């Protein structure tokens, strides 16, 4: 799924309203999405996409988690 085009502007506005960390966690599943969000948030919460990767792992959940998260982690630094 693609992120809404106004997401960066909305996140920047939200950050002006609070001093608390800003996390985004609905529908994030691709490194490209993380790249768009980087610089506008403090972190990403990944749930269902990670569960899906584990379910498709054929018994090697640890490898599936590593392979799923590595590209996203590389983008976020």
pLDDT of residue 69: 94
pLDDT of residue 44: 92
What is the C-alpha to C-alpha distance for residues 69 and 11, in angstroms, rounded to an integer? 23
- 62-74: buried (b, 16+ CB within 10 Å) or exposed (e) per residue? eebeeebeeebee
Residues 69-73 have a mean pLDDT of: 95
pLDDT of residue 49: 92
Q: Band of the pLDDT at 1, cuts 50, 70, 90? A: low
> Both tokens of residue 15?
């950050």
Q: How many CB atoms lie within 10 A of CB 39?
A: 9
The residue written with tokens 């800003």 in the block is 22
For 6-52, how does the pLDDT look when each residue is reduced to its tens digit (9 = 90+)? 889 999 999 899 999 999 988 899 999 999 999 999 999 999 999 99
């Amino acid at each position: 799924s693609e992120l809404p085009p106004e997401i960066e502007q909305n996140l920047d506005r939200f950050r002006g309203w609070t001093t608390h960390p800003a996390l985004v966690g609905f529908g994030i599943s691709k490194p490209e999405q993380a790249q768009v969000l980087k610089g506008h948030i403090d972190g990403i919460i990944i749930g269902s996409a990670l569960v899906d990767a584990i379910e498709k792992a054929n018994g090697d959940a640890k490898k599936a988690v590593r392979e799923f998260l590595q590209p996203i982690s590389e983008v976020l630094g």
